Structure formats: structure tokens, C-alpha cells
Amino acid sequence: MHRAVHFSWISLVLLLLAAGGMSYYLGWTESGFRMVATQLNGRLGPVTLQISGARGTLVHGIQVDQLIIDHRRVHLEFDDIRGSISMLPLLWQTLQCGQVNIGRALIQVPPRTPGPGKWNERFLPAWMSITSAGLHIDQALLIVPTAASWR
């Protein structure tokens, strides 16, 4: 009986140490952030992400040369992104950023193409939210389905 109790406590401590070590690696090291960026590159459900030039750390500040997000509802391109991300809110699926600076942003909304099934207006999953303490964009271009554009 005592062995089972000791084994369960030791397993719990090792699991907590491994989780702490992994969060330190991902959040506080540059190689951890590069690994996250590499894993996010590619198709994630209905969204395709392309991340290039990722450097820095999630907690102390990141820099991304270019982020391209493709979805059937919107095409987004961001250049020269700088910001930081809080680690704790990630536990409740919230991407909480400090001040975010973007050099150039392109937001292109394609015309709606009718397809089979129910139309889902959501871009993000229902359980996810993104917040920022502040956002500054040097240059932005919005293109809507009527072919109008705003700078």
C-alpha cells in the first residue's frame, strides 16, 4: 500500500516537473519559440499558416518577419511583427498579448462562395480568443469583395 502511495506521489511530482520544464523551454527560450513557429507552419483545420523569420521568446518579446494566414473567409498578411505573449492565459485558450507592433498588414476578404452545408462565420475556433493591450500598425490595406480598398 505504501509503495503505491509513494509511486503515485513521485509520478505526480515528475509530471509537474516535466510540465514546468516544457513551459520554460517553450516560453522563455528562443529555440522553444522557433519550435512553436515550426509546428504551427502548415494547415491547421481550415486555416493555413506560414510563419517566417521567427525569433525571440514568447514572454520577453517576439519578432516575426512575415505571417500569412489563409482561410476561405479571409487572407491576412502581416510583416515585421513585434510583441510579447502571456503564458498563463494560454491555459484557458486565450492568446493574450502585450503591445503589438506590425509594420504592414494586408486584409483581403474574398467574395462569399456558396458551398454545401451550413455557413460558419467564425474565423477562430469558438473556444479561442485573442486579446492585446495595444496594437499599432504602420501601414494597412483592407480589400473587400466589392474590390474597394482602404489604406
116 or 57, greater pLDDT: 57
Grid cell listed for 14 = 515528475
- Total number of domains in the chain: 1
Q: Which H or E element spans position 147?
A: none
- Per the CB < 8 A criterion, the answer to whether 38 and 52 are in contact is no
Model confidence at 90: pLDDT above 90: no
Pairing of strands 94-108, 129-143: parallel
- The pLDDT assigned to 104 comes to 98
- CA dihedral (129, 134, 137, 141) positive or negative: positive
Q: Which of 1-5, 58-62, 73-77, 129-133 has the lowest mean pLDDT?
A: 1-5
Residues 22-58 pLDDT 10s: 999 999 999 999 999 999 999 988 889 999 999 999 8
AA letter at 109: V
Average pLDDT, the chain: 88
Domain interval for residue 56: 2-114+122-150
Model confidence at 120: pLDDT above 90: no
